[in-house]
Amino acid sequence: MEKEKVLITGAAGFLGSHLCDKFINEGFQVIGMDNFITGDQKNIQHLLVNPNFQFIEHDVTEFIKIDGRLDYILHFASPASPIDYLKIPIQTLKVGSLGTHNLLGLAKAKKARILIASTSEVYGDPLVHPQSEDYYGNVNTIGPRGVYDEAKRFQESITMAYHRFHGLETRIVRIFNTYGPRMRLNDGRVIPAFMGQALRGEDLTIFGDGLQTRSFCYVTDQVDGIYKLLFSNYSNPVNIGNPHEITIKDFAEEIIKLTGTDQKVTYKDLPKDDPLQRQPDISLAKKLLGWEPKVEREEGMLKTFNYFKNLTEDELYKSEHKDFTKHIKK
């Protein structure tokens, strides 16, 4: 019997590479696609010799051609950290709009089910806490973060349009803060930033007063929720994240304790439109998918720290700002 085939865009990224592992382990034939604008080949290096994995280097904002049958598409191609999407704002908007349009068209042509990776950022700096799927959000469309927030909001809108107008089988996951091995140490998000600073012997930098909150979900829990959502019969957005909330200040103290360092904490101004609260309401995921996170933060952080601890010295000290220019079409 021929294996079912899934296309995963953003395959060389943090979440995309873990999804490739998951689907191969579940017996699928996986096509990974990435243009390496923020992804890293080392994340999928172990899969390149696997007969059930095929890799295509391609920018999804350009026309996509896949030969033969295709059963499922997971669209995870997008810059996902502020450092990335503030440096490549137009590409961020294009992958959420043109890229999504291309993949929806491909799903329609192949009669494939498609799952779109949305984000908790569609809620912006929320006025409702915790955030449930029926909250419309508080987003500054013209602020510096708007390129990412609005790309994802448009992505949801066009996906639902294809679902309603063409009868396409669609799924939308709203991903909350996720962490684990294969994160880029220099991607600007709080977990790799704190761990990188601790490993380099630097003071930990908090933006704002540190009383803003985040909720961190370990990558295996996130992947499990996404997998269950794909095979559900629900087309509206679903939050997948860990509802255990912690202040950034308390989290910094946890990192110092975990790493066994004696770094101090320093404070800088909070970036514009940075959310003050982020906590998912996962009641729908519990009811619909029978899903909730299992990995405790202490366990997940230790696994993540051990991954970062094993990076080379070059990886540990390289510039915070990756050079994207070689990937960008003029």
The one catalytic residue among 148, 179, 218, 227: 148
Instruction: Determine the pLDDT at residue 326.
Output: 45
Average pLDDT, rounded, for the chain: 91
Residue 148 annotated to the active site: yes
Q: d(Cα 112, Cα 169) in Å, to the nearest integer?
A: 7
Q: What's the pLDDT tens digit per position in 21-55?
A: 999 999 999 999 999 999 999 999 999 999 999 99
Pick the closest to residue 276 from 209, 222, 328 (CA basis). Answer: 209
Q: What's the pLDDT tens digit per position in 242-282?
A: 999 999 998 888 888 888 877 788 888 877 767 777 889 99
Detail the DSSP E strand segments found in the chain: 5-9, 29-34, 53-57, 72-75, 113-119, 170-175, 178-179, 204-207, 213-215, 217-218, 237-240, 245-247, 265-268
Q: d(Cα 199, Cα 197) in Å, to the nearest integer?
A: 6
Selected from 3.40.50.720, 3.40.50.970, 3.30.450.40, 3.30.2350.10, the CATH number assigned to the domain covering 5-184+217-243+279-295 reads 3.40.50.720
In three-state secondary structure terms, 91 is helix
The helix or strand, by DSSP H or E, that contains position 286, with its residue range, turns out to be: helix 283-289
Indicate the domain borders of the chain.
Answer: 5-184+217-243+279-295
Pick the closest to residue 230 from 26, 11, 1, 17 (CA basis). Answer: 26
